[in-house]
Amino acid sequence: MKKGLVTSFLCVVLLQLAALVPAVAQTVQGVVLQRGTSTRLVGALVINLNSKDKVSSNNSGGFTIPASLGDTLEIRCIGFLSHKQVVHTYASLIVNLRQSNVLSEVVVHGNTLKKDLKEVEDQFRSKGIYYKGKPPLALLIPFGGSPLTFFHELLSKDGKRARRFHKYAERELEYYEIASRFNNGTIKRSVPIKDDELLDFKDAYMPTAEQLRSWNDFDLVNYIKRSYEEFKKTPTSSQE
């Protein structure tokens, strides 16, 4: 009798302990490709719209993100149309992004983008990543520093993910900064360019963000005019 009571008691304790142990989060793996090619896209942002988890694709275009069946993933990459995909299985996903052919007038949702980036930074901070994966050497000072923080941020997987993500974030912010001024509308108001010439022209003459920061609107229009004159003298696939 006593043995039965002890066994029952142990079973109850084990069940209670099991309830306290957090469930292991399921993850989904995948790869991001340019549609119609085998080109793997590095630095694509993958967002779980349900859990708000965010990761970026690695140097092989691969990603791993926590997700449950039924969750919706949104995949974004500079120069490509965003794509949403529902998780129906835990098998590896192949995501094909279509290149954006037209960069029309861009409404820059700066506050929204910065808010998203801030949320990701907060996630990394909760994992002990405070310097975007690039810890300062001052942390190695024995007195007043934090060598453990330095090596954790430099060598851990979370530190590597943080570095990849912030490379993506810098490119994303720079892309929107450029597109807010150097876009179809501005170009067509400055020169008599044809619609089928726009893509080749922008690919060949897109200025850097640093250049745009030093130009006023008059400088930008002059740059577009000079570039278009040069463009017309150079045969391209769309002009042939």
Are 165 and 188 found together in one domain? no
- The last residue of one of the domains, among 66, 97, 128, is 97
- Tell me if 12 is assigned to some domain: no
pLDDT single digits (tens) 57-92 = 888 889 999 999 999 999 987 667 888 999 998 888
Are 148 and 206 found together in one domain? no
Are 170 and 194 found together in one domain? no
- Tell me if 155 is assigned to some domain: yes
Are 168 and 187 found together in one domain? no
The model's confidence at residue 185, banded by pLDDT at 50, 70 and 90, is confident
Range of the domain at 199: 181-233
Helix (H) or strand (E) holding 86: strand 83-86
The proportion of the chain whose per-residue pLDDT surpasses 70, expressed as a percent, equals: 79
- Tell me if 105 is assigned to some domain: no
Query: What pLDDT is stored for residue 103 in this prediction?
Result: 39
Q: What's the structural domain count of the chain?
A: 3
- Tell me if 20 is assigned to some domain: no
pLDDT for 5 beyond 50: no
Are 117 and 172 found together in one domain? yes
Mean per-residue pLDDT, 27-34: 91
Fill in the amino acid letter for 66.
Answer: P
pLDDT greater at residue 108 or residue 42: 42
- The last residue of one of the domains, among 97, 118, 141, is 97
- Tell me if 21 is assigned to some domain: no
- The last residue of one of the domains, among 65, 97, 129, is 97
- Tell me if 13 is assigned to some domain: no
Fill in the amino acid letter for 57.
Answer: S
Are 92 and 114 found together in one domain? no
Query: What pLDDT is stored for residue 164 in this prediction?
Result: 81
What are the residues whose beta carbons fall under 8 Å from the beta carbon of 206, sequence distance 6 or more?
178, 182
Are 114 and 173 found together in one domain? yes
Are 171 and 210 found together in one domain? no
- Tell me if 4 is assigned to some domain: no
Go through the chain and tell me how many residues it has: 240
What secondary structure, in 3-state letters, does 122-179 show?
Answer: HHHHHCCCCCCCCCCHHHHCCCCCCHHHHHHHHHCHHHHHHHHHHHHHHHHHHHHHHH
Are 195 and 209 found together in one domain? yes
CA 115 to chain centre: 14
pLDDT single digits (tens) 120-176 = 777 788 888 888 888 888 888 878 778 888 888 888 888 888 888 877 777 777 877
Segment of 19-23, 53-57, 134-138, 211-215 carrying the highest mean pLDDT = 211-215
- Tell me if 80 is assigned to some domain: yes
| CATH code for position 92 | 2.60.40.1120
The model's confidence at residue 108, banded by pLDDT at 50, 70 and 90, is very low
What are the residues whose beta carbons fall under 8 Å from the beta carbon of 3, sequence distance 6 or more?
none
The structure's pTM equals: 0.47
Are 90 and 42 found together in one domain? yes
